Amino acid sequence: MELTPSSRQYSHAQELINNLPYTAMIVLGAAVLVLSIPAALWRSVAAAVYLIYGVAGIFWIIVFLCPFCRYYDTRSCPCGYGQIAGRLRRKLKIENLKSQIPEDCFDKKFKKHIPVIVPLWFIPILVGVTAEVLAFSISLLILLIVFAVDAFVLLPLLSTKHSCKECPQRDSCPWMKGLSRAGPRDFHRAASQRAGV
């Protein structure tokens, strides 16, 4: 599926809205770590490292995946990463491929680079559940539930029903293969399998 001039263009406000579930997940994940770790120094360090990891994960995708996408350097990328990628890295030519079209290896690059950010979904759950077992806290339990709803329901639901639905790469995307039949609740099961988690 080729990108056409009629492809939807996103405003900066729309891009911001489309990034809210991921941003919320990172902030909530850091908050879970703060409530889970008793030592003040370590909770601050853990939350800061998690936040940095969340931001670094975005740039990892922008630098290593976006140049292979049909939305590269366009306003048609729902999250705005494509435009940022256009400023940070030139569109890549693929060596040893007959087509020499970067988009043709998008699925391979996706499988290779998405596992880098998958732990962001699981670190707060593992740390938070461990803390709950050691010393129950209603505030931490509520925060864990809110995190889980955002990370495992809202984010994949919005992705599969909005961003992924409109993406010209969806036919070759490893996430959308099978998810079109399975539905968003299987989003992270597929993520874990592909990441080896």
Q: In the chain, where are the structural domains located?
A: 12-195
Structure tokens, 163 = 């961003």
Enter the pTM of the model. 0.79
- 157 pLDDT higher than 70: yes
* Residue with the larger pLDDT of the pair 94 and 38: 38
Q: What is the pLDDT of residues 26-38, one digit of tens each?
A: 999 999 999 999 9
